[in-house]
Structure 1
Amino acid sequence: GDEVIVFEPFYENYVPDAAMSGAELVFVELHAPHFTFDPAELRAAFSQRTRAIIVNTPNNPSGKVFTRDELQQVAALCQEFDALCITDEIYEHIVYDGRTHIPVATLPGMYDRTITISGLSKTFSVTGWRLGYVLAPPALSNAIRKVHDFLTVGAPAPLQEAAATAMEQAEAYYPELQAMYSRKRDLLLVPLLESGYRCHSPEGAYYIMADFTGLGVPGDDVAFARHLVERVGVAAVPGSSFYKHRQDGAHFVRFTFSKSEETLAEAARRLR
């Protein structure tokens, strides 16, 4: 059958979404600690059955921001194998340390074969509003519109009005957003490193994938997440949630720093 390539660790909805479409999934690992892919492994994942690849940048759960060179490698393979690129760019405005988000559709040869998915949930902290959008050429968007009409119909009109107002924010809003999350990232990252976790500083989004094997706590990621809640008073998501094979993520837990600075400071105190 048709195949869809997914980088792992992955946002957990991608797998059931692809399965609902009848596609077979092919996984390409983003190798810790920097969550980079091996170009040879990526190329080997493509075949004449490949119909699409899903690219999430900035990435949930790893915090990776794909570089221009990495995206060009993806783009070249999409064109060689006549595959679509489905991009999840919901964290596009949350990047750190001078990095720049690069929309895949802006790369040469990719406009007509890219489906860009994004929204306002993360940028404006309105995740419960479920306001998102898809950008794609008419040949692709016509089918998307039909499915959307029967599944969702439309977002509430008052929320759409509020979203339009939010999008008129001055350009200064986005650097301020990045600076705020950068402070929050460091509030959580520093105590994790000091406590013995192994983790790479997130390049974007607002998650930290932390390897806890050096802490000497027995058990897998689920047991460790339960330990954190019961003994430390801090919640994290088991890392196996983001991998095809549970054992590949069994030494990770995912933390988020999309909380108030007061909450993060208290979490830091407990983690230490």
Structure 2
Amino acid sequence: MIANARRLDGKQQSTIRAMTERCVAVGGINLGQGLSRTPPPASLLDTGAAHFKTADHSYSLAQGDPALRKAIARKLTAYNGIDIDPDDGIVATIGASGAYNAVLLAYLNPGDGILLPEPFYGYHRAAAELYGVMPEPIGLTAPEFRLTKQALEASASERTRAIVLCTPNNPSGRRLTADEITAVAQFAEERDLLVITDEIYEYIYYTPGRHLSPAAFTPLTHRTITISGLSKTYSIPGWRIGYAAGPGHLIQPVRTAADILSVCAPTPLQQLAVDALELPEAFYTGMRDQYRTQRDRVASAFRSAGLEPNHPEGAYYLLIDCSSLRVQDGFEAAEAILTTAGVATIPGEAFHHNKPPYTYVRACFAVSQEDISRTEKQLATADFSTLMGTGATI
């Protein structure tokens, strides 16, 4: 029998994808995986239909199509407040996850530690572990999930080499404040850490104030690699267009790693992505308004069923407090919601290194209007009474 590589020992399909398959099997409504089921901008689809007739269908440069890199640089300056050289400071990747994998390969060795504020996006942990990097969770307390220098110091070790920041956060929806970023800057400077930011939800927020990119804070500019992409903002996750950006000296190794991993991102879609990045401000305002409405509708549906959601500041997920259910953990809670209401969610365990301190599931509200209406109806008629206890944490 041919054995798998040891790096896969103990690894299995992500909880998120597993729940998607379970949802399909029972014909449920998938509020689990962040599939971005809201329609992409119509103008982008119209442009794409014409674009493919004349598009470049060969490989792009390893660092990405020049027009896309210039468009990303313009966007980083205007929106994020970060000045990046498009020639040596940007590399286009197979989604934001491709950028993250390239950064891990470029900078972290087996046995190195990486700080992950918890709850975290599960792939941030899984990819690190695949390369032999040791996740070092920073347990943050609900509902504030506030990141402090004290929490950083308590979670770091002698092996710590990097920290991942996700803002707005998946799954909590928290947006990092200037004080929190300043605390990270002080700690990273003291420990000489690489700062990796995942800002894939940068345009999706509901509270006042512009998006804050950690790399725009001067103490972090020289040690931060900013990761983002087009999947979430434009509802095109299947296009797999992401990027890593930073000072040239940081990006050069990432470019090498990305080239080895996947050669390049899809050339025709890189070129089409330029049009997405040039959409007017009205698009972003309308997109946020739509998601805010969807957030409130789905939250109200869960609340009416006796389950308490949080109130996220950004991204498009709800944390549903299931402490009122007589269940042992998030897996049982997710199964109870699926079998009772026909609605798929993700167990909170997917976003923690160890058992979460409270019982919750994550629900995505970036779904079609039809699925939102079905969710409202099915939760309204679901009977959780036999499972109800007491308690609330989030």
Work out whether the TM-score is over 0.5: yes
Matched, 1:132 2:242: yes
| C-alpha separation in 2, matches of 1:103 and 1:252 | 29
Residue 174 of structure 1 corresponds to which residue in structure 2?
284
> More displaced, 204-213 or 21-30?
21-30
Counterpart among 283, 296, 307 of residue 186 in structure 1: 296
Say whether the 8 Å CA contact 2:173–2:317 is kept in structure 1. yes
Alignment of 1:239-250 (within 5 A): 239-245=348-354, 247-248=355-356
Distance 1:123 1:83 in 2: 29
Counterpart selection for 1:220 from 322, 329, 339: 329
Match of 1:264 among 369, 372, 377: 372
Letter in 2 for 1:268: E
Map residues 1-272 of structure 1 onto 2, 5 A cutoff.
1-214=111-324, 216-245=325-354, 247-248=355-356, 251-272=359-380
Which structure would you say has the larger RCO, counting Cα contacts within 8 Å and 6 or more residues apart? 2
Query: Deviations for 1:161-180, whole angstroms, at most 9, x for unmatched residues?
Result: 21111111112211111111
8 Å CA contact 1:58–1:95 kept in 2: the answer is yes
Contact 1:243–1:249, Cα closer than 8 Å, also in 2? no
Instruction: Tell which structure's C-alpha radius of gyration is larger.
Output: 2
How many positions carry a matched residue from both structures?
Answer: 270
Q: Secondary structure at the match of 1:172?
A: helix
Range with bigger deviation, 172-181 or 223-232:
223-232
Q: Which runs of 5+ in 2 are unaligned?
A: 1-110, 381-394
How many Å separate the matches in 1 of 2:361 and 2:300? 16
Superposed displacement of residue 196, structure 1: 2.4
What is the CA deviation profile of residues 134-189 of structure 1, one whole-angstrom value per residue up to 9, with x for unaligned ones? Answer: 00212111110111001111122221121111111112211111111111110111
In 1: Cα distance, 2:112 partner to 2:341 partner: 46
Over residues 70-89 of structure 1, what are the superposed CA-to-partner deviations in whole Å (9 max), with x where a residue is unaligned? 11111111111111110000
Matched residue of 2:176: which SS?
Answer: coil
Amino acid at match of 1:108: T
Aligned AA (2:336): H
CA displacement, residues 101-149 of structure 1 (integer Å, 9 cap, x when unaligned): 1000000221110010000000110001110000021211111011100
Percent identity among equivalent residues?
39
Please report the TM-score for the alignment, with normalisation by the length of structure 2: 0.65
Query: How many angstroms does 1:17 deviate by?
Result: 2.0
CA distance in 2 between partners of 1:48 and 1:222 (Å) = 34
Query: Which range is displaced more, 27-36 or 174-183?
Result: 27-36
Separation (CA, whole Å) in 1 of partners of 2:327 and 2:121: 26
Query: Are 1:87 and 1:115, in contact at CA under 8 Å, matched by a contact in 2?
Result: yes
What TM-score, normalized by structure 1, do the two folds share? 0.93
Distance across 2 between alignment mates of 1:182 and 1:39: 31
Q: Is the 8 A contact 1:29 1:37 kept in 2?
A: no
Contact 1:33-1:199 within 8 A present in 2 as well? no
Question: Using a 3 Å threshold, how does the CA distance of structure 1 residues 257 and 82 change in structure 2: closer, same or farther?
Answer: same
The verdict on how the C-alpha distance between 1:121 and 1:29 changes in structure 2, with shifts beyond 3 A counting, is same
Does the aligned pair in 1 maintain the 2:323–2:358 contact within 8 Å?
no
Q: Distance between the aligned counterparts of 2:335 and 2:284, measured in 1?
A: 36
Return structure 1 stretches of 4+ with deviation > 6 angstroms: none
Contact residue 88 and residue 117 of structure 1 kept, 8 A: yes
Tell me if structure 1 keeps the 8 A contact 2:322–2:361: yes
Instruction: Report the CA distance shift for 1:262/1:34 in structure 2 as closer, same or farther (over 3 A).
Output: farther
Q: Is the 8 A contact 1:48 1:81 kept in 2?
A: no
Cα 1:192/1:39, change in 2 over 3 Å: farther
The answer to whether the 8 A contact 1:31-1:37 is kept is no
SS of alignment partner, residue 150 of structure 1: helix
Q: How far did residue 48 of structure 1 move?
A: 4.6
Check conservation: 1:236, 1:254, Cα contact below 8 A: yes
